[in-house]
Amino acid sequence: MLHQLDISSARQRLLAREITSVELVRSCLDRIESVDPQCRAFLHVVAEQALAQAQEADRLLQSSDRNKPLLGIPVAVKDNVAVVGEPLTCASKMLERYRSPYDSTVAEKLKAAGAVLLGRLNMDEFAMGSSTEHSAFFPTRNPWATDRSPGGSSGGAAAAVSSDLCLAAVGSDTGGSIRQPAAFCSCVGLKPSYGRVSRYGLVAFASSLDQIGPLTKSIEDAALMLQVIAGPDSRDSTSEPALVPDYSNQLDRPISGIRIGLPKEYFVKGLDPEVESAVRQAIETYKSLGATLSEISLPHTEYAVASYYLIATAEASANLARFDGIRYGLRVPGDSPHELHANTRGQGLGPEVKRRILLGTYALSSGYYDAYYLKAQKVRTLIQQDFRKAWEQVDLILSPTTPFPAFPIGKMTDDPLDMYLSDIYTISANLAGLCAISLPCGFTRDPKLPIGLQLMGKPFDEANLLRVAQAYERNTSWHNDKPDLPSP
């Protein structure tokens, strides 16, 4: 059952030579073979390559290079983060046959830390979706109930971690795409502050919102993964040239006296009763640990969804213009350049991606720019100001991660607006550039479905965010529960 280990436990056993990386990787590969036909988390598995990396890790574990933080640890990567020589499809027909000619900065850092990369994880096409139903290849299913969505767009990453197909995963978060699937699948999902992790090699969806982050089995593992992938990068002009703290060393500091805000706009009608009950119990846990909790207001919350979906779609329409059938990717011939372009995008892009490109192009078009895109940017500024005022009163903000637990596959595909509203608690952190994390805080009764607790912190205050999250995890046991799936 080596696949059930978290990074910290596996690392201790590897360094003590109780297990080998080859044994650990084989256990994950066997688990993938046994379980993934039910979950469909992976788009591509590189078994031979992973075993070769594990053999090299075992060699290094017997040398002076054995202290690399992820040496021999099997990790999987969302299919919009470039890994040289591997597919980079973004779960789209447009890039179905494309392989990355280079490594993203995050992939470089994972490799330098000794991680064993298992393969590519499924997602909503070009990260546009909240259910992983918009993959061009197949939907991913929630390991806790395979008729339910695992969330999105990093649904493959969350399902893989939750069902022990890998020890950790890397995803991307544009409006909640790490945190929402982490909540639906009962794992830890961390969205770092905008600029904390390099976006070089991340296929852009909305460049002012996108951020790469880890999905893990514990807060301790999230701190370790962030330590590895964070830091400035000259290849990303939005990368913040700030020193990266030692997150792991700060995890066990007491949280007595920490000020936690409860936004009144987040605890309103429409919040599932069982979700609210679990979050309220978490509030009581924090009170018992010495935290001070108080109600705050984020008055422009009601405009966050509209603002986000104008900004994100506008940026997407610009970013996806590069997929034109001429430079790379799918090419569907036509009798003219216009026809080639139309044929390629018509056949290569799925309905949700087309919808967002159309929305964004409309918002940016002459005569509508001021009414839609510019106004959305002004609302974004007001939302950022809400948070700046909140930070004068509190150190962190607590809320549900999602308004409801995992929904049945197919339930929301006919009404995109319902799907968009599922991100109501997560998108503000992206609009304001905050760090935020989702961690398990309970389950619904029938069926048993995970519930996520969200903490949001000041920009570049991940150390404090992780410390407060660790205090809750250490005093609860929700993260220890596993979905009922067969073992190899």
Look up 78 and say whether it is catalytic: yes
Torsions phi, psi for 25 (to 5 deg) = -70, -40
Q: Residues 177, 198, 399, 428: which is the catalytic one?
A: 177
Q: State residue 487's pLDDT score.
A: 59
Domain of 182, in residue numbers: 2-260+392-480
**Is 259 or 67 the better-scoring residue by pLDDT?**
259
Query: Please, which pLDDT band fits residue 485 given cuts at 50, 70 and 90?
Result: confident
Query: Please, which pLDDT band fits residue 270 given cuts at 50, 70 and 90?
Result: confident
Q: Residues 8, 21, 68, 78: which is the catalytic one?
A: 78
List the CATH number of the domain containing 188: 3.90.1300.10
Across all residues in the chain, what is the average pLDDT? 96
- Mean pLDDT computed over 151-165: 98
C-alpha neighbours within 13 Å on the C-beta side of residue 463? 11
Both tokens assigned to 243: 């020193």
- Rounded Cα distance, 221 and 412, in Å: 33
Q: Is residue 187 part of a domain?
A: yes
206-231 pLDDT, tens digit per residue, is 999 999 999 999 999 999 999 999 99
> Considering the chain, what percentage of its residues have pLDDT values greater than 70?
99
- Mean pLDDT computed over 327-344: 93
Q: Is residue 317 part of a domain?
A: no
> Considering the chain, what percentage of its residues have pLDDT values greater than 90?
93
Q: State residue 197's pLDDT score.
A: 98
- Rounded Cα distance, 89 and 95, in Å: 5
Q: State residue 413's pLDDT score.
A: 79
Q: Is residue 137 part of a domain?
A: yes
Beta strands 211-216 and 188-191, pairing class: antiparallel
Q: State residue 190's pLDDT score.
A: 98
DSSP code string of 329-345:
S-----SSHHHHHHHHH
Q: Is residue 314 part of a domain?
A: no
Q: State residue 417's pLDDT score.
A: 73
pLDDT value at 412 more than 90: no
pLDDT value at 486 more than 70: no
- Rounded Cα distance, 132 and 180, in Å: 11
pLDDT value at 469 more than 90: yes
Query: Please, which pLDDT band fits residue 421 given cuts at 50, 70 and 90?
Result: confident
Q: State residue 420's pLDDT score.
A: 76
- What is the number of domains present in the chain? 1
Q: Is residue 89 part of a domain?
A: yes
- List the one residue out of 456, 473, 445, 462 whose CA is nearest residue 179: 456
Q: Is residue 273 part of a domain?
A: no
Q: Is residue 297 part of a domain?
A: no
Q: Is residue 153 part of a domain?
A: yes
Q: Residues 153, 193, 428, 438: which is the catalytic one?
A: 153
